[in-house]
Amino acid sequence: MTAYADLVPASAPPGGTPLRRRRDAERERYSAPPTRRGFLTGLVAAGMGAGVAALGVFPKARAALADPAPGQYGYRIYPSCPPYAASHECEPGCGPSQVLADTCEPSGQYAGWFKNRPAEGYRLRPGACWAGFDGWTWGHNGPCGGCAQHTLYRCHDGYKLIGAGWYPKICRKVTECDGRDPDEPVYHDPVGALVTARVVAPGMVRLKGWVIDPDAPRSPVTVGIYRNSRLVARPVANRRSRAIPPFFWSAGLQHGFAVTVKGVRPGEHRFRVFASSIGPGRNTKLGEARIRMPYGANPGTG
């Protein structure tokens, strides 16, 4: 049986060895779609077109937490995939070594790192990984587990006591999934558009559009309509609208709004429309339009 040490030499890579650098092999970054069931199903099936990206459907990535002890002996991670493991894909995800979930700390400062609890049968394996490191980075492009396009792992070496002997095992931690930190909550901003804004009668402007909050796709979103920086209407987007693109239909069609603003004086006016987020996302601008009300129209009171 091949020993683990034979697979993972402790010396530096030989000269000229083609390494899979973290940002060479995985240079192409991806933005994950939102992860709310139902609403997202249509997005994935539709194929993430440029139109969806322009609407800002993709969630905001939040910065990953810093390593608890960067550079600390026992926690030094080689920033590449080892050359000997280049042929291994997705599973087991850390090369030929056995990955065991119970070897990872479940919480606290060292969550996601190999347990350092000798009395309980777990201890680190410092300096025994590739090039004298304590673990390495592993990347995979393509579907794998819960990640649709790109996965980045941290593979941390250690020993587990099994019977009367200590055996080398791996704690595997997903550090990046489709461009985001999987441990951080994903917040979504409302997505939608101001579809039309036009004069419908003297002193009257009609605005139509739609908006959906991915964090609450079945709930109507409140919309704020401003004319020249003044709030003039706050409708709820609960009207049936065929302007909603097909890949959002899984959330229903009752997310449209249609408002007539009255008392618009002759001259040029700037209308801006914002959506109020229901979930933890930020309020979103849906669009704006410049409208010229003809002179000779009803001056109104605006």
Instruction: Tell me what percent of the residues of the chain surpass a pLDDT of 70.
Output: 68
Q: What is the mean pLDDT of the chain?
A: 75
Report which of residues 87 and 228 the model is more confident about: 228
Residue with the larger pLDDT of the pair 130 and 189 = 189
| CA triple 161-166-170, angle to 5 deg | 80
Percentage of the chain beyond pLDDT 90 is 42
Name residues whose C-beta falls within 8 Å of residue 127's C-beta, 6 or more positions apart in sequence.
10, 73, 133, 134
Tell me: pLDDT of 10 over 50: no
Is domain 191-293 classified as CATH 2.60.40.10?
yes
pLDDT score, position 176: 87
Q: What ranges do the domains of the chain cover?
A: 4-35+60-177, 191-293
What is the signed CA dihedral for 249, 275, 53, 36, rounded to 10 degrees? -50
Question: What number is the average pLDDT over the span 106-110?
Answer: 88
CB-side neighbour CA atoms (13 Å) of 88: 15
> Quick one: pLDDT at residue 91?
56
Residue 95 — pLDDT band, cuts 50, 70, 90? Answer: low
Q: Encode pLDDT of 135-175 as tens digits.
A: 888 887 788 777 888 888 888 999 999 999 999 999 999 88
Task: Give the sign of the dihedral formed by CA 180, CA 181, CA 183, CA 185.
Answer: negative
Distance CA 138, CA 90 (A): 9
* pTM metric for this prediction: 0.47
**Terminal-to-terminal C-alpha distance of the chain:** 85
Contact, 222 vs 284, CB < 8 A? no
- 8 Å CB contact between 172 and 153: yes
C-alpha torsion angle, residues 72, 73, 75, 76 (rounded to 10): 90
Per-position b or e across 148-178, b if 16+ CB within 10 A of its CB: bbbbbbbbbbbbbeeeeebebbbbbbbbbbb
Sorting pLDDT into bands at 50, 70 and 90, what band is 71? Answer: low
